[in-house]
Amino acid sequence: MQSRVIILADLDYFFAQCEELRNSALRGKPVVVGMYSGRTEDSGAVSTSNYEAREHGVKSGIPLFLAKKRLEGTDAVFLPVDYDYYQQISDKIMQVLRGYADAFEQVGIDEAYLDVTMRTSGDFEAAKALVQEMKRAVKSQVGVTFSAGIAPNKLVAKIASDIQKPDGVTTVLPGEVKGFLAPLQVSRLLGVGKKTSAKMEALGIKTIGDLAGYDPQRLIELFGKTLGVYFHNAANGVDNDIVQEAGEAESISRISTLKENTRDIAAITEKTNQQIEEISQELAQRDVSFKQVGIIAIMTDLTARSRMQTLEQPTRDLETLRRVARELFEKFLGDSTLEVRRVGVKVSQFTKEEKQQRQLTSFFQNG
Ligand code: DCP
Ligand code: CA
Ligand code: CA
């Protein structure tokens, strides 16, 4: 399978840039947007600041009184957070960006992932040109700049977007992923906070490269299965998470009525195999694999029952789906005495497989 082309666009110094947008007299001056707690005149924290203010060590999260002190003697402007206004600007920008994506996923108020694999035919040079076009469009239609990362997956695109700011672009080609990540601090990875990075440092793991080379079995012992597997995959630049609109269907399912009420597994699987045929086509269209299979049965008394199974590995194999659905129905019929009226099949937990990269799951299976 060819590599995906994923963009993460992150708006520059967003709240402060919005303030500059509505009042151009602010441009060139240090601008600090603060969350005032109201206890005293200066109590509260910095929400964000523009790059002029950052030169004085003023950044998100520091106390406002400290920001005041650091900006003493400058023509700095302090403003309170106006969330509704930033939301309006964000909505406009997201609408523009959405037009450039095969699939679009907004994250928070100032970031969005774009899957542009199809429209660029998987070509990263085309993606770079596309980002320049997006930048021009957002600048001319809304008046705001953003920085972007272009990479084979969301994890790397996000980290790349942080490298050149403001108004920058960083591209990481599929073959460059490991080398790009290796020298970076582990704290760049989502989920590695102060506590975790301290724990890792005590183990001699400082960089993402250190983490990538660390024994995965040991990581699981230290951090548990879920986190251990995630850390290993993330450090190796493996991330199959798909770009998906929040609220977009995260499952594919079919349900239909049987010719007659029955407890006959052959009659049931005849119906579900038709459904599975359709589900399989949709999986191919969306280019996703699934990890979870569910069945549903509506009984003659109209109660609904469901059963679910999570697979060892994601798959899109038709035979596997047929087999698992059949097994679930066989078990289910053993648990009930009623006849079945309607049946359904559902697949969920979608991923996009990057076959060329070694997966921890297969790593364990092969020893
Ligand atoms: N924000 C906040 N408090 C924080 C961090 C962020 O209120 N501790 C708000 C203000 C930011 C917005 O969220 O403008 C987006 O956060 P980012 O982390 O993306 O930071 P900026 O967009 O401000 O700056 P950058 O140019 O580094 O992306
Ligand atoms: Ca930002
Ligand atoms: Ca952000």
pLDDT tens column, 202-256: 999 999 999 999 999 999 999 999 999 999 999 999 999 999 887 666 889 999 9
* Cα 14 to ligand 2 centre (Å): 5
Q: Over the chain, what is the mean pLDDT?
A: 93
Ligand 1 proximity of 20 Cβ (cutoff 6 Å) = no
> Does the pLDDT of residue 70 top 90, yes or no?
yes
Contacting residues for 357 by C-beta, under 8 A, at least 6 apart:
236, 237, 238
Residue nearest to atom 2 of ligand 1 (CA): 47
- Name the helix (H) or strand (E) containing 171: strand 169-171
* Beta-carbon count within 10 A of 170 CB: 20
Contacting residues for 271 by C-beta, under 8 A, at least 6 apart:
256, 258, 343
Q: What pLDDT was estimated at residue 244?
A: 87
* Both structure tokens of 45: 């924290």
Right CATH for 182-235 from 1.10.3210.10, 1.10.150.20, 1.10.3720.10, 3.40.50.1380 = 1.10.150.20
Ligand 1 atom closest to residue 111's alpha carbon, by position in its atom list: 19
Euclidean distance between CA atoms 329 and 236, whole angstroms: 39
Contact 260, 342 (CB under 8 A): no
The closest of 269, 241, 340, 328 to 299, measured between CA atoms, is 340
Q: What pLDDT was estimated at residue 338?
A: 92
Ligand 1 proximity of 15 Cβ (cutoff 6 Å) = yes
* Cα 357 to ligand 1 centre (Å): 33
Q: What pLDDT was estimated at residue 316?
A: 92
- Name the helix (H) or strand (E) containing 141: helix 124-141
Residue nearest to atom 3 of ligand 1 (CA): 47
Q: Which residues of 278-296 are buried (b: 16+ CB within 10 A; e: fewer)?
A: ebbeebeebbbbbbbbbbb
Euclidean distance between CA atoms 42 and 202, whole angstroms: 39
| Phi-psi sector, 317: left (phi>0), alpha (psi -120 to 50), beta | beta
Question: Which tens digits make up the pLDDT trace of 118-136?
Answer: 999 999 999 999 999 999 9
Euclidean distance between CA atoms 328 and 339, whole angstroms: 16
User: Which residue among 13, 14, 81, 138 is best mutated to probe the pocket of ligand 1, counting the most ligand atoms within 8 A of its Cβ?
Assistant: 14
Ligand 1 atom closest to residue 11's alpha carbon, by position in its atom list: 22
CATH 3.30.1490.100 domain range(s) in the chain: 251-366
**Average pLDDT over every residue of 81-102:** 95
The closest of 153, 172, 174, 154 to 163, measured between CA atoms, is 172
CATH 3.40.1170.60 domain range(s) in the chain: 15-83
**Average pLDDT over every residue of 13-39:** 96
**Average pLDDT over every residue of 144-153:** 98
Residue nearest to atom 1 of ligand 1 (CA): 47
Hey, which residues does 112 pair with through a beta bridge? 9, 106
Ligand 1 proximity of 14 Cβ (cutoff 6 Å) = yes
Q: What pLDDT was estimated at residue 1?
A: 62
Q: What pLDDT was estimated at residue 357?
A: 42
Contact 255, 341 (CB under 8 A): no
pLDDT band at 84 (very low <50, low <70, confident <90, very high): very high
Contact 126, 26 (CB under 8 A): no
Range with lowest mean pLDDT among 83-92, 142-151, 296-305: 296-305
CATH 3.30.70.270 domain range(s) in the chain: 6-12+85-173
* Both structure tokens of 246: 């929040």
* Cα 85 to ligand 3 centre (Å): 17
Percentage with pLDDT > 70 across the chain: 95
pLDDT band at 284 (very low <50, low <70, confident <90, very high): confident
Count helices and strands (H / E) in the chain. 14, 12
CATH 1.10.150.20 domain range(s) in the chain: 182-235
* Cα 111 to ligand 3 centre (Å): 5
**Average pLDDT over every residue of 347-359:** 66
- The answer as to CATH 3.10.20.600 being correct for domain 6-12+85-173 is no
* Both structure tokens of 84: 């509704």
Ligand 1 proximity of 12 Cβ (cutoff 6 Å) = yes
Ligand 1 atom closest to residue 49's alpha carbon, by position in its atom list: 23
User: Tokens 């084979």 correspond to what residue?
Assistant: 152
The CATH code of the domain at 15-83 is 3.40.1170.60
* Cα 41 to ligand 1 centre (Å): 23
User: Which residue among 37, 46, 52, 60 is best mutated to probe the pocket of ligand 1, counting the most ligand atoms within 8 A of its Cβ?
Assistant: 60
What is the CB-side half-sphere exposure of residue 175 using CA atoms within 13 A? 1
* Both structure tokens of 313: 């590995």
Q: Determine the Cα angle at 110 with ends 177 and 43, to 5°.
A: 120
Ligand 1 proximity of 165 Cβ (cutoff 6 Å) = yes
Ligand 1 proximity of 110 Cβ (cutoff 6 Å) = yes
Q: What pLDDT was estimated at residue 352?
A: 77
Catalytic residue among 111, 133, 312, 353, which? 111
The closest of 350, 347, 349, 343 to 274, measured between CA atoms, is 343
The closest of 78, 79, 76, 115 to 98, measured between CA atoms, is 115
Q: What pLDDT was estimated at residue 50?
A: 98
Q: What pLDDT was estimated at residue 353?
A: 65
- Known catalytic residue: 327? no
**Average pLDDT over every residue of 340-355:** 85
Ligand 1 proximity of 50 Cβ (cutoff 6 Å) = no
* Cα 46 to ligand 2 centre (Å): 14
Q: What pLDDT was estimated at residue 354?
A: 52
Ligand 1 atom closest to residue 12's alpha carbon, by position in its atom list: 26
- The answer as to CATH 3.30.1490.100 being correct for domain 251-366 is yes
Residue nearest to atom 12 of ligand 1 (CA): 14
* Beta-carbon count within 10 A of 200 CB: 24
Percentage with pLDDT > 90 across the chain: 85
Distances (CA, A) of 73 to 40, 43, 59, 318: 22, 20, 18, 70
